[in-house]
Structures are given as C-alpha cells and as structure tokens.
Amino acid sequence: NRDISIDSTPGSLAAFKKLAANPIFNVKLS
C-alpha cells in the first residue's frame, strides 16, 4: 500500500523516473 501511495505522488514519480534513467541504478535494479 505504501508503494502505491508513493507512486501516486507526482514528485516521487518524477524522482523515480530520474533514478530509472540512471544507467548505474538501472543495472543495480536488474
């Protein structure tokens, strides 16, 4: 539930997209 709540926040979503765009973070995530 907390994840969905954070996802619903525009600021958090933008921050997540920014991190997801980071190649290093993307590799760690994979």
pLDDT of residue 24: 72
pLDDT of residue 2: 58
Which alpha helices (H) appear in the chain, and where do they start and end?
A: 2-8, 10-20, 23-29
pTM above 0.75, yes or no: no
pLDDT of residue 11: 76
* Number of domains within the chain: 1
pLDDT of residue 13: 75
What is the distance between the alpha carbons of residues 30 and 27, in angstroms, rounded to a whole number?
5
For 1-30, how does the pLDDT look when each residue is reduced to its tens digit (9 = 90+)? 555 555 567 777 787 777 777 777 666 665
